[in-house]
Amino acid sequence: MSSDVGFVCSCCGDKHDELPMHYNSPAPAYWSDEVAAHPRSELTSDACVIQGEHPFVKGLIEIPVIDGDVFSWAVWVSLSQQNFVRMGELWETPGREQEPPYFGWLSTELHLYEPSTLNLKTNVHTRPVGQRPFIELEPTDHPLAVEQRNGITRARVLEFAERLLHHA
């Protein structure tokens, strides 16, 4: 079944025109008003630096959906200073996807998962210019890593939608 088919929400009973296949995290879990006020902190749609010392990049955890669609979480990953600088140097460079992956720590709390998703080990794979990096989770038994490896059903995507639409 295609993602453009709507659904009736079991929480509110409303008919929603589309089943969302992507969710976005606006900032790393460590971002706050206090951090934002620091003169060496910066947050853009693609990158973040906290107090001039802690760099993050935004990428996608993609999860195959059994019917052929792809579900994704836009998340933040911390990188070493060296890897952050290297990624920045290549940001607009064609062929950058040939770069080896960068190690990072997942820095987004996806509250629909237990245990916490914070600090899961990742590899950040650069993609062609204009595409967000692909975030590959370490192949552990964490439910998010298992879903990335094995895929999910449309029913699981519907569960995400209902819980996130109603902040449950």
Return the pLDDT at 4. 54
Residue 13 has pLDDT above 80, yes or no: no
- Asked if the peptide bond before residue 115 counts as cis, ω within 30 degrees of 0, the response is yes
Return the pLDDT at 14. 79
**E strand or H helix that includes residue 148:** helix 143-150
Using alpha carbons only, what angle is made at residue 147 by residues 146 and 149, rounded to the nearest 5 degrees? Answer: 65
Return the pLDDT at 2. 44
Mean pLDDT across the chain, nearest whole number?
93
CA distance 53 to 67: 43
Tokens, residue 133: 């990096």
Least confident of 7-11, 17-21, 108-112, 128-132: 7-11
pLDDT (average), residues 95-116: 97
Least confident of 27-41, 91-105, 151-165: 151-165
Confidence of residue 7 (pLDDT cuts 50, 70, 90): confident
- What's the length of the chain? 168
